[in-house]
């Protein structure tokens, strides 16, 4: 057992040495539940693209019975 105190929310608390985390899991979970923006997470719009889908240029793979007739 370790007698020294490891700060909560650090990598060492999880068993991995290194720099401390910027926020604890509880803080991040609270931010998500309250609908707040979590720092460092990219926001992706919740909407579909208005662009037309591209046309496929590859052939679909052959079926097993089509491979026999090659």
- pLDDT on residue 28: 87
Query: Which has the closest alpha carbon to 29: 20, 38, 39, 41?
Result: 38
Per-10-residue mean pLDDT, the chain, length 70: 47 49 79 89 87 91 80
* Nearby residues of 62 by Cβ (< 8 Å), 6 or more positions away: 70
Which stretches within 1-70 are classed as H helix? 25-34, 64-68
- pLDDT on residue 13: 45
């Amino acid at each position: 057992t370790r007698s020294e105190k490891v700060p909560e929310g650090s990598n060492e608390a999880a068993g991995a040495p290194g720099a401390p985390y910027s926020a604890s899991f509880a803080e991040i979970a609270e931010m998500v539940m309250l609908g707040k923006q979590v720092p460092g997470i990219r926001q992706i719009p919740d909407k579909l693209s208005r662009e037309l889908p591209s046309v496929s240029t590859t052939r679909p793979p052959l079926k097993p019975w089509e491979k026999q007739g090659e």
